[in-house]
Amino acid sequence: MKFNFNNNREVVALLGAGSMGLSIVERVAQNRIVLLGDVNEKNLAASADKLRYTGYEVETMQVDASDKQSIYAFAKRASELGAVKYYIHTAGASPNQTNPQHIIKLDLVGSAFALDAFGEVMARDGAGLLISSQTGYMLPEPLSNEVEYALTMTPADELEKLPCLSSEAITNSGLAYIMAKRANQLRVRKAAMDWGKRGARINTISPGIIVTPLAYDEFKAAGEAYQQMIESSAMSRVGNPAEIANAAQFLLSDQASFITGTDLLIDGGTIAAIKTGAYKLQIR
């Protein structure tokens, strides 16, 4: 079946074609071209089909979200398709999926490259959203002002050289993930200034435990600890991708036109439980 779509439409780009990102895209991509990027070709094809079968026009591109050249090529492709209205970044790996070095390279440095790359192609009145994590609020000790400034302002090419991200400082995947997600929250501050020159906005959302394939990987590896975290949280339950998409739709919309460079924590009260002593966090 061949559909006839209008020309000269806006583009929605998603890097990391998982369930959470797709839930967001479905809210904002009506009458727009969707560009999906993912490193896994099978996942990319399945996600594209899911959208196509419900009437969206979809282009795909295999992208290594930890590689600068691949990310910039993805941003270039988005701009070739039309005016880039929305950029959504969900690419990442969890602590039990990989090693600390890969988490830093993918979740932290790759995200920084993506913010830079799309900051160069966003349309005026466009908006972006980087999915971080509640773990960005779980550092064992607060970072110094100097370290936070370095994570915020250091050029993406030089991030991996920072002492706070060295193998001596990052001793396990759990800590790597926490640092990466805190850095995500910080990087949007500078990105907001860069994107603002184009009249565009960028924010982060930090979800708690959301039912996704990634969450199931974590449950398999640390189910008891996860269950305790869920039961101790203020809402005593997990979330679902639609609940993240509700907030994402607002942050990307014109209703949020004065919101940029900030993070929205959506965790069902997990961080509240940690800060009030209802749950004792253990980092592995």
pLDDT of 262 reads: 98
Catalytic residue among 56, 137, 177, 279: 177
Mean pLDDT by 10 residues, the chain (284 residues): 61 95 97 97 96 97 98 98 98 90 97 98 98 95 96 98 96 94 98 98 96 66 77 93 97 98 97 93 70
pLDDT of 224 reads: 78
Q: On the CB side of 111, how many CA atoms lie within 13 Å of its CA? A: 35
pLDDT of 81 reads: 98
pTM over 0.75: yes
pLDDT of 211 reads: 86
Name the amino acid, one letter, at 204.
T
Q: For the chain, which domains are there? A: 11-213+240-269 (3.40.50.720)
Alpha-carbon gap, residue 173 to 11, rounded angstroms: 35
User: Is the Cβ–Cβ distance between 161 and 85 less than 8 Å?
Assistant: no
Nearest one of 31, 22, 26 to 3, comparing CA atoms: 31
pLDDT of 281 reads: 80
Q: Per residue in 95-110, is it b (16+ CB within 10 Å) or e — as a string?
A: bbbbebeebbbbbbbb
Residue 128 gets the label, from left (phi > 0), alpha (psi -120 to 50) or beta, of: beta
pLDDT of 283 reads: 66
pLDDT of 94 reads: 86
Whether 177 is catalytic: yes
Alpha-carbon gap, residue 99 to 93, rounded angstroms: 9
Alpha-carbon gap, residue 245 to 160, rounded angstroms: 31
CB atoms within 10 A of CB 189: 18
User: Is the Cβ–Cβ distance between 26 and 245 less than 8 Å?
Assistant: yes
